[in-house]
Structure 1
Amino acid sequence: MSMDAQANLVLDQLAPLLRGAKRLVVLTGAGISAESGLATFRDAMTGLWANFRAEELATPEAFEQNPKLVWDWYVWRRKLAQAAKPNGAHFALVELERLVPQLTIVTQNVDGLHQRAGSAGVIELHGSLSRFKCSTDNEPVDAKDFGDSPDGMPPRCPRCHAFVRPDIVWFGEMLPPSALQTAFQVTKKCDLFFSIGTSGVVEPAASLPRRAIEYGASVMINNLDVDTASEPPLYSLQGKAGTILPELLRRAWPRL
């Protein structure tokens, strides 16, 4: 694999840190799924949805005003996610679960690609396209309990007959308290933290790498918008995770 001198330096510095890590936390964002062909949240507004802004559809108010429109958008997004396949970055993280005593993935993604690659115990901060809940009481609704509505409207909750909605955190809603608390807890205890494919501007997830450094961990930032640099305990690598992560594993465990 061809790497420039600075990237080689950073990878060589990270390799022993990864090999010696006892508790690794990996925060992932849209960038890791983009390598599987999934457009980022706002870039996905194409085709039938080109006249809409994502923020106009991903709100409780939008669902209340036009439930069919919002439901149709999520049906479309779910089909795209189901058609996508995990990439090399996802599979590298699965391999890391075998090599690191404790690895926790905290994802902002809702596509389920980590789980389909084989990762276990993924913390989903923003929900999942594959889960549903009642729009009234927020209790889970199993997809097998409803079918397609003949009028194209969202299905109804089998308990109270309110509309079923995607189990996604919309604008103006709180993140799942248990997921967020667990993310903070594992970050506090980790000795190495990876932030992959995320802009680092959406709170509260954006605070996790900063917290990790405050608690004494080393942090690697990997996305297309950073400059490759080494300022321990912060290491930055510009590039695609599907290339960077497998190479980092190869350097950390060259005999595998």
Structure 2
Amino acid sequence: MSYNEKIKKVVRLIKESKKTLALTGAGISTESGIPDYRSPGTGLWEKHDPARTASLSALRKDPARFYNYNLDRWTAYSHAQPNAAHYALARLEKMGLLVGVITQNIDSLHVRAGATRVWEVHGHLRTCHCMECRESYGFDQLVYSIRNGTNPPRCVKCGGILRPDVVLFEDRMNEDFYQATQVISGCQLMLVVGSSLTVYPVAGLPGVAREIVIINRTPTPYDEEAAVVIHDSAGQVFRDIMVELGEPLP
């Protein structure tokens, strides 16, 4: 099947489906300048062991070191801009062709692109909270504290250490994940975008859908089961999908 035939088939599946959801991973944001985790040669986890740098035990053992490693990377996300794939998914939601987006990403790019139904199953970097009293703060408060010499950042109420509202290694899954497992019931079509589908439990979600479309630069364990597989740029693929739908992106 040619690339153009694949685009036409994806559009037909979207139009025919009565319940479509998207599942997105780090690969959708690489075109926004955010590196992914597992790409050969460039993936973050090839260079650093996440169990030592991005885990709950790493935060508890040496919180200052935890922030020294992670903070610059996290604050860089705030400068990234949504790309065509993010905007296309938001447009599909507004058109009534997409129920919403389940994302593994913590970069908030779906929200910034205008999507309103987003389940951020690994959390986000818009807020943080105290590990002792659970008081909530904007993530900017955490950044401001560290930049002004207070590392680790502390709660102004009780002095406890602040942590971002992301799911770290060794954390339990958050409420958005459990909501996502409910909302996918009856899913007829899942658009998997930029995910290697190797991180569980999220990688098990496509198995619930009747049909799967995979848009990812590298192969995934679900490729043989998918109705359509496109190993290409997510941004370009979604630009072409929107053109085929008669709703080209700006």
Do both proteins adopt the same fold according to a TM-score greater than 0.5, normalized to the shorter chain?
A: yes
Query: How many equivalent residue pairs?
Result: 242
1:62-116 CA distances to partner (integer Å, 9 max, x unpaired)? 1122111212333202221011111111111111112125521010000111111
TM-score normalized with structure 1 length: 0.84
SS of structure 1 residue aligned to 2:129: strand
In the alignment, structure 2 segments of 5+ residues that lack a partner are none
Q: Kindly indicate whether the alpha-carbon contact (under 8 Å) linking 1:41 and 1:54 is maintained by their aligned counterparts in 2.
A: no
1:145/1:12 Cα in 2 relative to 1: closer, same or farther (>3 Å)?
Answer: closer
1:121-159 CA distances to partner (integer Å, 9 max, x unpaired)? 211111112221222355533347664155431221233
Specify which of 113, 120, 123 is matched with residue 117 of structure 1: 113
Q: Kindly indicate whether the alpha-carbon contact (under 8 Å) linking 2:193 and 2:234 is maintained by their aligned counterparts in 1.
A: yes
1:163-210 CA distances to partner (integer Å, 9 max, x unpaired)? 00111111111111x212221122112222101000011111111111
Is residue 9 from structure 1 mapped to residue 5 from structure 2 by the alignment?
yes
Aligned to 1:224: 217
SS of structure 2 residue aligned to 1:148: helix
Q: Distance in 1 between matches of 2:141 and 2:64?
A: 19
Q: Return the letter of the residue paired with 2:233.
A: K
Specify which of 228, 232, 252 is matched with residue 245 of structure 2: 252
Q: Kindly indicate whether the alpha-carbon contact (under 8 Å) linking 1:68 and 1:152 is maintained by their aligned counterparts in 2.
A: no
Q: Distance in 1 between matches of 2:113 and 2:43?
A: 23
TM-score normalized with structure 2 length: 0.85
SS of structure 1 residue aligned to 2:176: helix
Aligned to 2:59: 63
Q: Distance in 2 between matches of 1:255 and 1:35?
A: 19
Q: Return the letter of the residue paired with 1:225.
A: T
SS of structure 2 residue aligned to 1:40: coil
CA RMSD of aligned residues (A): 2.7
Q: Return the letter of the residue paired with 1:235.
A: V
Aligned to 1:171: 169
SS of structure 2 residue aligned to 1:26: strand
1:156/1:44 Cα in 2 relative to 1: closer, same or farther (>3 Å)?
Answer: farther
Deviation at 1:20, TM superposition (A): 3.1
Q: Return the letter of the residue paired with 2:213.
A: M
Identity of aligned residues (%): 30
Aligned to 1:203: 200
Q: Kindly indicate whether the alpha-carbon contact (under 8 Å) linking 1:110 and 1:128 is maintained by their aligned counterparts in 2.
A: yes
Is residue 77 from structure 1 mapped to residue 59 from structure 2 by the alignment?
no
In the alignment, structure 1 segments of 5+ residues that lack a partner are none
